[in-house]
Amino acid sequence: MARLLLRRAIHGALIIWLVATATFFLLHLAPGDPIAASLDSPLTPPVVRTHYRHEYGLDQPLSVQYGRWLVMMAHGDFGFSFPHRRPVSSVIASALPNTLLLMGVALLLSFVAGIALGLIQARHRGRPLDWGLGLGSLFFYSMPDFWLALMLLFLFAFVWHVFPVTGMFDPVMYPYYGFWQRVGDRLWHLVLPACTLALLSAAAIARFQRAALLDVAGEDFVLTARAKGVSERGVWLHHVLRNALLPVITLFGLALPVLLGGSVFVEKVFSWPGMGLLTVEAIGTRDYPLLCAAVVIASVLVIGGSFVADALYAVVDPRVRLE
């Protein structure tokens, strides 16, 4: 098991390097550069631009730039963001926690809801409840993320005024709140974006979980459990679910990239100051260092997620543990 995880870690590092390299070259293939985007005004004398290009090493051959960047990355230095006029690491430090909060809550919500829905459906297989929930999850499963975000925003924030429209906290009242009021206010602002993300992946997880549960429910050991006198509840929650979690754990590794991709749109729609919003802005301003760092961090998150999924597999399935 330890060897398997070590091999996975080496693979992961390799993939992160590949992703970073590809991103670096793709970005430099695109026309324009950070200087052009920030200083591209007819009023700026060409000398100034040349000066900055030289200062930031943008006049060097691509291979030299790549080499320098790689060395910097290896030292944990993400470089300097021109548009933000501060180090990339500090820009990311203010955005990453917001995204992690949003994704963490969405991930938790989607798995709890997805597994619970799958269980309800499997236990009522073939009956109207199963049918209705299946139809509902298919509805959300096939919906584009940005559209769902807009619709939720429109209905719950604009029409019914149940939840706030944008941001992470109330821009006016927040400084005057006490501690618990602040916590409440933040949670209040978290509901819509987190639910948007959670609904999409919960629908996928529910469909997956239902199928996995029904698969396991036909196994011989489930009959053994019933023949032992175990209650229906015990049979499903103890004997069936534990086995049916295995395929869903794989989904955990796959859900992260989907959530990350979704968070780009969701953060934009809800003006959530996270990595997604930052990335979208960075594309517009040709902020190479920030973009590269964002992509690298995203790939670290995704690979870390599948790494966690592998480790979880071993926790749940004793057969994996011993191989």
User: Which residues contribute to the site for other proteins (CB under 8 A)?
Assistant: 219-221, 223-232, 234, 239, 242-243, 316-319, 322
Gyration radius of the chain's alpha carbons: 24
| 180 vs 232 by CB, closer to other proteins | 232
User: Amino acid identity, residue 55?
Assistant: E
Minimum distance, C-beta of residue 235 to other proteins, in the bound complex (Å)? 10
**Assigned token pair, 11:** 């693979």
| 124 vs 268 by CB, closer to other proteins | 124
Minimum distance, C-beta of residue 222 to other proteins, in the bound complex (Å)? 8
**Assigned token pair, 43:** 């009023």
| 96 vs 248 by CB, closer to other proteins | 248
Minimum distance, C-beta of residue 242 to other proteins, in the bound complex (Å)? 5
Minimum distance, C-beta of residue 251 to other proteins, in the bound complex (Å)? 18
Per the CB < 8 A criterion, the answer to whether 308 and 252 are in contact is yes
Minimum distance, C-beta of residue 223 to other proteins, in the bound complex (Å)? 6
Minimum distance, C-beta of residue 243 to other proteins, in the bound complex (Å)? 6
The CA–CA distances, whole Å, from 170 to 173, 235, 251 equal 6, 47, 35
Per the CB < 8 A criterion, the answer to whether 73 and 233 are in contact is no
| 207 vs 239 by CB, closer to other proteins | 239
| 51 vs 238 by CB, closer to other proteins | 238
CA contacts within 13 A on the Cβ side of 1: 12
| 216 vs 256 by CB, closer to other proteins | 216
Alpha helix stretches (DSSP H) within the chain: 2-29, 34-39, 46-55, 62-74, 88-123, 128-141, 145-152, 179-217, 220-227, 232-234, 241-269, 275-284, 288-316, 318-321
Minimum distance, C-beta of residue 224 to other proteins, in the bound complex (Å)? 5
Enumerate residues 6+ apart whose C-beta is below 8 A from 2: none
| 300 vs 320 by CB, closer to other proteins | 320
The backbone torsions φ and ψ at residue 302, rounded to the nearest 5 degrees and listed phi first, read -65, -45
